[in-house]
Amino acid sequence: MLLISCPNCGSRDETEFHYGGQAHVPYPENPNDMNDREWAEFLFYRDNTKGTFAERWLHSTGCRQWFNMLRDTVTYDIQAVYPMGTPRPDVSVPAAAESGTASTAADSTTTGSAAPSTSATSISATSTASSTTAPEGATK
Ligand SMILES: [Zn+2]
């Protein structure tokens, strides 16, 4: 079970949240200029990163606000929680690194255009107690 630190509400149980997919996927500037393949790739193609991954979360039974989270997809360690519209924080991966591809994801610039912004400015790196079970819905 993950203990997720909402930027607005503080630490809450994982069951209060919904996973919202990969973060920092900018909406195309000219969607009408895209062919069907490019549009489909924008809609459906996402990175499948092993290691630190930026993802969106919704505190659905709390403040109902979206926020971003850096989470390790292997260990489920939450490395940072930060408001929508702010750039991805530079979190150094803890020394437990495998010979992995931790931060090679194509992380384009942040736009935040499609997401409601929050006024919270706290960027807190929280780590939770070790979790041995995969959270339901967090691995889609
Ligand atoms: Zn909240």
- Mean pLDDT, 10 residues at a time, the chain of 140 residues: 94 96 95 96 95 97 97 95 92 54 44 44 44 49
- For the whole model, what pTM was predicted? 0.63
Q: Which amino acid is at 118?
A: T
Q: What is the pLDDT, as a whole number, of residue 1? A: 85
Q: What pairs with residue 83 in β-bridges?
A: 67
Q: What is the 100 CA–ligand 1 centroid distance (Å)?
A: 32
Closest to 55 measured CA to CA, from 88, 14, 32, 15: 88
Q: What is the pLDDT, as a whole number, of residue 122? A: 43
Q: What is the 95 CA–ligand 1 centroid distance (Å)?
A: 30
**Separation of alpha carbons 124 and 81, rounded Å:** 6
CATH number of the domain within which 104 lies: 3.30.2270.10
**Separation of alpha carbons 47 and 80, rounded Å:** 19
- What token pair was written down for 37? 């393949």
Q: What is the 36 CA–ligand 1 centroid distance (Å)?
A: 37
Q: What is the 23 CA–ligand 1 centroid distance (Å)?
A: 18
Q: What is the pLDDT, as a whole number, of residue 138? A: 52
Question: Residue 68's domain spans which residues?
Answer: 1-140
Contacts of 61 (CB under 8 A, 6+ apart): 15, 16
CB 47 within 8 A of CB 105: yes
- The count of domains in the chain is 1
Q: What is the pLDDT, as a whole number, of residue 93? A: 57
